[in-house]
Amino acid sequence: MNRGRKISGGKYHKQRKRRAHELRGQERHVVLGETKQKFLGTLGGAQKTILLKAETVNVLIEGKAKKAKIINVIETPQNRFFARQNRLIKSALIETSMGKARITNRPSQEGQVNAVLVKE
């Protein structure tokens, strides 16, 4: 009921603010379009490739990866509105030049789109 309050009615106060490494990063959405990447510096000095837009996908067929062109996003299980916005997220069903495929990685984190063909 009384959120952030003691039984006596007094307030609880934070001990400290959040540190820079504890802050949330900016939310990134990978959208269908001409490929666009961004490079971010990570903790420890490494570099991370971020994907903002993508037009190609690495499709895995019988253990071999082949590049295909993304035509459309058919369905996203997380949120049906993501498909309407053509967002590329993990487990989204996409239409490629090779047929229907399901995205198996997180493009916003890895800088590329990987998928597996779906048998109908």
Give the count of domains, the chain.
1
pLDDT reported for residue 41: 87
Structure tokens belonging to residue 44 = 């420890």
Q: Which domain holds residue 33?
A: 25-117
pLDDT reported for residue 1: 57
What CATH number did the domain enclosing 35 receive?
A: 3.10.290.70
For tokens 């082949």, the residue is 66
pTM: 0.80
In a domain, 8, yes or no: no
In a domain, 2, yes or no: no
Q: Give the mean pLDDT per block of 10 residues along the chain (120 residues).
A: 83 91 88 94 89 96 94 95 95 96 94 92
Please name the residue ranges forming H helices in 6-118: 80-84, 107-110
